[in-house]
Amino acid sequence: MSVPVPTGCELTGAPAEYKSGAMAETLSDGDRERKVAFITGVTGQDGSYLVELLLQKGYMVHGIKRRSSSYNHPRLEHIMEPGYPNGQNFFLHYGDLTDLHALVAICRDVRPTEVYNLAAQSHVQVSFQMPMYTAEVDGVGTLNLLEAIRLSGQTKTARFYQASTSELYGKVQEIPQSEKTPFYPRSPYAVAKMMAFWAVVNYRESYDMYACNGILFNHESPRRGETFVTRKITLAVANIKAGKQECLYLGNLDAKRDWGHARDYVECMWKMLQQEKAEDYVVATGETNTVRHFVDRAFDIAGMKLKFEGEGVDEVGIEVATGRTLVRVHERYFRPAEVDLLIGDPNKALTQLGWNPRTTSLEELIKEMVEADIARVENPTLRF
């Protein structure tokens, strides 16, 4: 089941207690002291930051990755290098949310005390083209993982975190959005995530499982995938600055989002699993900005001041110094059903978890992403 990785990261190096297939129906004193995390989606942006956090806190960390003929975990490369602090406590397994048997086997072998379900087909635009696959992974896949915990006899010993999403609010019913705001999903992705949300609630109420949803609003970083709008923007800025790209094409510049830093948000995930009672939380900054604002700040940080002219699909971003058109709007990048305004109310997380949503300001976040992509364009081998 384990994935061959550099020395110190193999599953075969784990202590015997973490390879046991024994099932625990009740929480023993030993279980109370064990800190063993199992992360799906470990190769993604959030997964890599969460691994770093948990290793720092002294956890044994297990993650799953899908089989691929190409290298598919560059965000974890630095953790696997010899000498990374506590890197010997990180292990990878082959697995997939659609494979219940594999999930049960891993849960029995690892006996996690905390399970973080971060895996998903998380691209909204793609979900319109692949709705069935999105539902299978994001909806049924979450159910598979909950069942794996139950079937391996760990409903009382494993705490479960589900990465939910602000896309659940879709056609927003109130501003800002809180834990009590009605859902109105506007994409196959959001519909699948709503199934996952209620599956978590159902297992919490039916099996007395410690299971909670983190309704995360947009969170970014230099590790964000290149197809997501913020990273698409910062990478384009870097390429335009280097003379490798002429123009950035985007969709709805008026769309408003609540953006935070992924590194700050994974800390909130961990805090959710340290409480006496499992509850659902909105994870957000409570601030909203337009895509246009993000674009403007990204170009400005890179030394290119823009002015915007026109409206709708005719809007353009023009560099003040040269008159070059660096940003254009194209209808192909509009969603079939737009989500215009998302802004979260994080007060519950602030008061009950003691979490600070603005450890990193939006300006600092954009600057970090732009500078990272400028460095990557100059040296593609760099990792952040």
- How many whole angstroms separate alpha carbon 180 and alpha carbon 183? 9
For the chain, helix, strand, coil in percent to 5 are 40, 15, 40
* Residue 317 identity: G
- How many whole angstroms separate alpha carbon 146 and alpha carbon 203? 7
- Whether 344 and 286 have beta carbons less than 8 Å apart is answered as yes
Q: Which of 132, 134, 123, 64 is nearest to 92 (CA)?
A: 64
Q: Which of 197, 127, 201, 143 is nearest to 165 (CA)?
A: 197
Question: Under DSSP, is residue 82 helix (H, G, I), strand (E, B) or coil?
Answer: coil
Q: Which residues pair with 260 in a beta bridge?
A: 219
- How many whole angstroms separate alpha carbon 234 and alpha carbon 221? 10
* Residues noted as catalytic: 165, 167, 189
Distance set, CA 111 to CA 177, 213, 286, 291 (Å): 36, 21, 37, 43
Q: Which of 358, 349, 350 is nearest to 164 (CA)?
A: 349
Measured distance between the N- and C-terminal CA atoms of the chain, rounded to whole angstroms: 28
